[in-house]
Amino acid sequence: MTSTFLADKRSGPGTDLPPPESVRARGRGRRRVMHWLTAVSFQLPALVLFIGMVLLPMLFALYAAFFRWGGFGMPSDYVGTDNFTQLFDNPVFLGDLWRCLVLVVLSLAFQLPFALAMAVLLNQKLRGRAVYRMLFFAPYVLSEAITGVLFSMVFAPDSGLADHIFGAVGLDGVGGLWFADPSYVMATLFLVMMWKYFGFHMMLYLAGLQSIPRELTEAALIDGAGAWQRFRNVTLPLLAPTLRISIFLSVIGSIQLFDLVWVVTQGGPDHHSETMAVTMFQYGFKRYQVGYASAISVVMFGICLVFALAYQRFVLRRDLEGATTTMRGDGK
Amino acid sequence: MTARKTTARTLPLHVILVAVGAVMVVPLVYAVLSGFKSTDELSSNPFGLPDHWRTGNYTDILAGGDFWRLLGSSTLIAVGTTVLVVAASALAAFSFARFAFRGREALFTLFTMGLMFPFAVAVLPLFLLLRSLGLLDNPLGVILPQAAFGLPMTIIILRAFFREIPGELEEAATLDGCSPFGFFWRVLLPMARPALGTVSVLAVVTSWNNFMLPLLVFTDNTWWTLPIGVQQFQGQYSAEYARVFAYLVLAMVPALAFYSVAERQLVGGLTAGATKG
């Protein structure tokens, strides 16, 4: 028996497989159908799950966003694009967009460079580096909700650890109310996010650094390049794919931020730490304005989509080759 | 001589690492120590070791049934999610990696698109769907969506791994009369154990830490998971800081213990997922 499910291996990327000589023309059509059915039957469980639990709900949200709807029965009160126009008049939602941008900028300015510095540091032969790596990454495995509760205690006004530490070094005025202070709440949240997530980015960078051949930096050393020059002109360009992925994940993470904010502030004080997901949650599950909340979901989806496509088009394309561009030949 | 020179060079680096390490560790140690204090002592003696070590906060929680019930449902949901997502993804990844068929590229793109969309975007319509299916207050109401959202990453990692297995093996298996499924089940899966371990660890951690979905799906405490339990406990005992700290610490222990055994798989999976996705 000629095995048709080997076709992929033999055809390789981007080529069409010439039909085996031994296969008679008459039998080929049926065999191809059988082959297709076999291949697709392996896809079925994943496909059913994915369509049912990911695609259909999202499409339904897109539909519901055009209705005034409390979430019970089927939506019937069609309001056109009212939900969207109201949304972009809503100062809280516009604030969500602004705060999302602030988090992205803070992350790009502080978290990722810090993670990179730590990765470069721990990529050297230092005593105990394995321990540090494990330690810096450890918060990543904690639930965001549990992390939130921990830091709501650490930053509790007056009684928390942070106030005691700042008080002990004579900085009583710094922070103060932390999460309860409108002008400090985002900065404090960002500190917690950095505590929890910089280790993750550090691990990505470490993996990237370890894939850079030592010969390259050694060659630069022999050519007389200083440490900064070696980093700037050899390491950084070669690390670019990893950096782009890490930036992407960081932005997507900021867009969907929910657990931490919900546990610590629920968006307060007075919406000063609210995120899009929190606003959506408030309208959808607390006020039962499900149509309006669906519109928020759709906008979040749109932002993700536009960002992902633009990023892929302009930034990621080279890095993803081989991962998302599959072979064209379908083994005919 | 050289040893001393290296020490002098690396000393500032060690100072930085110790400082960063302290920032990472202090909140955790603070929580552990605070759990051994009384709430009164917390305000009079925030940093130091407890005057006398009260184990009451910890033992009270461990003696009650609530904590164990949360631990049990977190475990059940994590295991259920992992089994489902890994099984469905392995089948799909096998088909993507070893078959050539019409529509494969479109289908794979569909799955990878799922990677770009955060859970929070779909949670509202998902909730409505689960409600209409009668899956609220049912562990399946969390397991099914979690598995569905885990598919893209799992498929991508497994597909990359399956593609590296030499074609000769497949030919040999086929010549010996193996069906495609026979090859998948008897040859590919046993060989793919490391990759399966990696994606399983990822799925367990993601499920374990999920907060938003269980918060919505479980309206009463029968199936609450640990993150929900911690949040509720803090709300309930907001004045008793020491008890909340003890609860927090106990809730973190399983995740940190799991991390200490599965660190390699977790880091490997995350980096593989990021670079391949």
Per-residue pLDDT of chain B (277 residues; tens, 9 = 90+): 455 666 677 888 899 999 999 999 999 999 999 889 888 887 777 777 888 888 888 988 898 888 999 999 999 999 999 999 999 999 999 999 988 888 898 999 888 888 777 788 888 889 989 998 999 999 999 999 999 999 999 999 999 889 888 888 888 888 888 888 888 888 889 988 888 998 999 999 999 999 999 999 998 888 999 999 999 988 888 888 889 999 999 999 999 999 999 888 888 888 877 765 4
Chain A residue closest to B103 (CA)?
A: A330
d(CA B233, CA B69): 14
The CATH number of the domain holding residue A256 is 1.10.3720.10
Cβ atoms within 10 Å, residue A48: 12
Q: Which of B146, B158, B67, B99 is nearest to A330 (CA)?
A: B99
Cβ atoms within 10 Å, residue B233: 22
Taking the Cβ of residue A249 and every Cβ of chain B, the question of whether any pair is shorter than 8 Å is answered with yes
ipTM of the complex: 0.89
Q: Mapping DSSP to helix (H, G, I), strand (E, B) and coil, where does residue A77 land?
A: strand
Q: Which of A298, A300, A301 is nearest to A63 (CA)?
A: A298
* Residue of A46, A57, A327 lying closest to B92 (CB–CB): A46
Distance from A36 to chain B by nearest Cα, in Å? 6
Would you call B227 and A145 a contact, using CB atoms and an 8 Å cutoff?
A: yes
Q: What is the DSSP letter of A271?
A: T
What is the reported pTM? Answer: 0.86
Domain B65-276 has CATH 1.10.3720.10: yes
Biggest CA pair distance of chain A: 88
Residue A66 lies in a domain: no
Residue A124 belongs to domain spanning: 82-320
Domain with CATH 1.10.3720.10 in chain B: 65-276
* Residue of B110, B122, B148 lying closest to A49 (CB–CB): B148
Q: pLDDT tens for residues B216-263? A: 999 888 899 999 999 998 888 888 888 999 999 999 999 999 999 988
In contact, B203 and B85? CB cutoff 8 Å:
yes
Q: Number of structural domains, chain A?
A: 1
* Residue of B101, B114, B147 lying closest to A36 (CB–CB): B101
Cα of A137 vs its chain's centroid, Å: 17
- Three-class DSSP labels, chain B: CHHHHHHHHHHHHHHHHHHHHHHHHHHHHHHHHHHCCCHHHHHHCCCCCCCCCCCHHHHHHHHCCHHHHHHHHHHHHHHHHHHHHHHHHHHHHHHHHHCCCCCHHHHHHHHHHHHHCCHHHHHHHHHHHHHHCCCCCCCHHHHHHHHHHHHHHHHHHHHHHHHCCCHHHHHHHHHCCCCHHHHHHHHHHHHCHHHHHHHHHHHHHHHHHCCHHHHHHCCCHHHCCHHHHHHHHHHHCCCCHHHHHHHHHHHHHHHHHHHHHHHHHHHHHHHHHHHHC
Q: Which of B169, B252, B31 is nearest to A153 (CA)?
A: B31
Would you call B274 and A43 a contact, using CB atoms and an 8 Å cutoff?
A: no
Q: Mapping DSSP to helix (H, G, I), strand (E, B) and coil, where does residue A78 land?
A: strand
Residue A143 lies in a domain: yes
Chain A residue closest to B7 (CA)?
A: A126
Q: pLDDT tens for residues A167-208? A: 766 666 665 677 877 878 899 999 999 999 999 999 999 999
Residue A50 lies in a domain: no
Residue A216 lies in a domain: yes
Q: Is the peptide bond before A269 cis (omega within 30 degrees of 0)?
A: yes
Residue A19 lies in a domain: no
